[in-house]
A and B are shown apart, each in its own frame.
Chain A
Amino acid sequence: MGLGFYLHQSFAQHALIAAALISIACGLLGPFVVTRGAAFAVHGTAELAFTGAAAGLLVSNDPVVGALVGSVVVATAIGLLGARARERDSAIGVILAFGLGLGVLLLSHYHGFATEATDILFGYIYGVSNGQLVILLAIVAVVIVVTAFMFRPLLFASVDPELAEARGVPVRLVGLLFLYLLAVTVTEAAQIVGTLLVLSLTITPAAAAQRLSARPGIVMGMSVLFAFLAADGGLVANLQHPTVKASVFVTFISFGLYLVARAAGYLLRRPRAHVHTVEAH
């Protein structure tokens, strides 16, 4: 059974659409994650999706809604505990450690199949239902609209918070809004591609894009493109070679793009350094 056969199957189509939607949201937020140094926030909220899912299972037998509600709680907690960048990492660490413990406790009280909660840690890309696709589409639409709405204040606050504050940007509010967007996106992405891959789709493409351009708009566009190539490219490769897990392909493509971008960025930026040494003489 070749690739053509799989592409006509709804499970494969759903997976490809879901991966594309996730790459849009992750690609858009990625450059801000990198600029704000919020990689640990991505990691923390992704892992805590497990706790939210466990709580959702216990309360209403619905891990997805549980994870989403949980992500909003986590983002609020991070925002309240870690106002300054320096405090933020330790705040996330504190919440992450406690949250995972809480997740284990919740899961021990659940007497159904625990795989529904652990799926969130590893993702289940080929099991995306119509309903999940609709939720994902709504979330991605919200991410696009809110990111466009607060693009400049968010960029300003990420680049130079003191200056932005003096210029009238509500820096804390903008930071909190960003955390909400990030937490919801990461949680939604985690249950489809898994916690592991969230970092591959959020941070790596943006980091690669930054090596190639310093224009905020172009970096965002390339970050989305790289995330898409990694996510959907990884799935297609997996359909052709089912013995290797999709996540392996996604992480490898993502990392490969990053290495290529680093090399290309080095070549791109060298001429300027050369001009400077000439001036210095």
Chain B
Amino acid sequence: MARSPRRDDFAASPRPAVSLRAATLQFGDRVLWEGLDLDVRRGELVAVLGPNGAGKTSLIRVLLGLQRLTSGEVLINGTPPRRGDHAIGYVPQQKGFDRDLPLRGTDLVRLGLDGHRWGLVKPTRRARERVAAAIASVGAGDWAHSPLGSLSGGEQQRLRIAQALLSDPSVLLCDEPLLSLDLGHQQAVMTLIDRLRRERNSAVILVTHEINPILPLVDRVLYLVGGRWAVGTPEEVMTTERLTDLYGAPVDVLRVRDRIVVVGAPDLEHDHLSGGHHHVEDELRGQQRGLL
């Protein structure tokens, strides 16, 4: 990968894998976030939190090179992001595949290796071995040869992670990787992501709306709210004072056993039905899932 020599000259301090400087993203009049400064080192896991519409997924799109900043600077390993960068592994938002999709798990993982290449590519042994190794590293060997559509959400998600790991990325971007997974699968997927970032020393940026399943693994939190943001350890950011300040409205952060519950956080999207209490609703939804 071509790297800017200008940046490499400053190698005295270890270069962050992801670096945002005064980064602002704006769609028309709506400011998603403004003046964002964030450095993520390799091996670090940063959770991106915030209400719907706060620009969490847009941040991922900026890092993938799919969305330009309105102003400011973003660097991945010292260079501006570009589409198809193999230094980045991407696990998109969990969505189910069609039952009849003519694709096996191993085919999906394989697309992470050469799905962007035109023309006929001779299937090499090396490529097969890399795919098999990625599948083994996420423990998906038992179902990798089954049709994707017949797999559970957790099984599909592990294969997506295997796909993201194929290029041995230094940066792993996960957009709501736990969405619609049951508690057991959530834990399995998080343990997997945690183990892989330690083994491979990758920087992980993980968008989520539920911090509790990942709380023990998170190094730092980036909290986005309507143009404003806060960065720090969960203990620093997830407090009544900080979130009240961020939302500009009274918000209570409660610690119930080892869980964090945010009460009274208004939603950003101006629809009448979800007038607020987004996080509490998520909490309740999580607990009610078994009952429904």
Contact = CB atoms under 8 A, between A and B. Distances in A.
A62 B64 CA distance: 49
Contact of A153 (B98, B103, B117): B117
Interface string B95-128: 0011011111001100110111111110000000
A169 interface: yes
Interface string B54-97: 00000000001010000000000000000110001010110001
B-side interface mostly: loop
B150 interface: yes
A6 to B, nearest CB: 37
A159 B100 contact: no
Interface stretch (A210-218, A230-238, A248-256): A210-218
B117 A163 contact: no
Given A166-B66, A214-B147, A152 B121 contact: yes
A152 B146 contact: no
A117 to B, nearest CB: 37
29 contacts: A34-B102, A35-B101, A148-B120, A150-B118, A152-B118, A153-B115, A153-B117, A155-B111, A156-B115, A156-B116, A159-B111, A160-B108, A160-B111, A163-B90, A163-B112, A163-B160, A163-B163, A165-B66, A166-B83, A166-B84, A167-B111, A168-B83, A168-B116, A213-B102, A215-B102, A216-B107, A269-B150, A272-B146, A272-B150
A214 B118 contact: no
Interface residues of A, number: 33
Given A166-B64, A167-B116, 11 more contacts: A34-B102, A150-B118, A152-B114, A155-B115, A159-B103, A159-B108, A163-B90, A165-B66, A169-B115, A169-B116, A214-B102
Nearest to B60: A166
Contacts of B163: 163
B100 A162 contact: no
Given A35-B102, A165-B83, A166-B90, A153 B116 contact: yes
A216 B66 contact: no
A5 interface: no
A167 B100 contact: no
A201 to B, nearest CB: 18
B148 A214 contact: yes
A16 interface: no
Main secondary structure, interface of A, reads: helix
Contacts, number: 99
Contacts of B84: 166-169
Interface in A135-164: 148-153, 155-156, 159-160, 162-164
Contacts of B147: 214, 269
Nearest to B117: A152
Contacts of A152: 111, 114-118, 121
Contact of A215 (B90, B104, B118, B149): B104
Interface string A161-183: 01111111100000000000000
Nearest to B107: A216
B89 to A, nearest CB: 10
A159 B101 contact: yes
Contacts of B92: 160, 162-163, 166
Contacts of A159: 97, 101, 103, 108, 111
Contacts of A225: none
A204 to B, nearest CB: 13
B104 A167 contact: no
A209 interface: yes
A259 to B, nearest CB: 15
B111 to A, nearest CB: 5
B120 to A, nearest CB: 6
